[in-house]
């Protein structure tokens, strides 16, 4: 992993076309501005992790199909 120090208003360029700029630093938060081509996906990592977690919960549920059908038909 490459570690770089940047001050406010400084940026880094990745692969000539992605720019990440430090817009502001305050109270333990860094605000970043990211300029990248439209085909580059940018996500907050925790959202990805949450969806992984949710998929795992969905996969390992103890659901019995009959219970689900019964449940929906009692209404």
Partner 1 sequence: MKLSTRHFGEIEIDESEIIYFNDGLLGFENIKEYVVIPNPDSEVPFSWLQSVDEPGLAFVITSPFLFIKDYEFDIPDKVVKELELKDHKDIIIYSIAVVPENIEEMTLNLKGPIIVNRNNKSAKQIVLENNEYTLKYKIFDTSKEIV
Contacting residues toward partner 1, per CB under 8 A: 38-39, 41, 43-44, 47-48, 50-59, 61-63, 65, 67-69, 71-73
Shortest separation between residue 46's beta carbon and partner 1, angstroms: 10
3-state secondary structure (DSSP) of residue 20: strand
Rounded to whole angstroms, how far apart are CA atoms 52 and 43?
Answer: 14
Task: Name which of 7 and 66 has its Cβ closer to partner 1.
Answer: 66
- To the nearest whole angstrom, how small is the minimum distance from the Cβ of residue 8 to partner 1? 25
Report d(CA 34, CA 43) in Å as an integer: 11
């Amino acid at each position: 992993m490459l570690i770089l120090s940047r001050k406010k208003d400084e940026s880094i360029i990745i692969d000539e076309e992605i720019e990440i700029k430090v817009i502001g630093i305050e109270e333990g938060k860094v605000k970043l501005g990211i300029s990248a081509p439209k085909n580059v996906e940018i996500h907050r990592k925790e959202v990805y992790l949450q969806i992984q977690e949710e998929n795992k919960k969905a996969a390992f549920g103890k659901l019995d199909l009959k219970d689900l059908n019964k449940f929906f038909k009692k209404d």
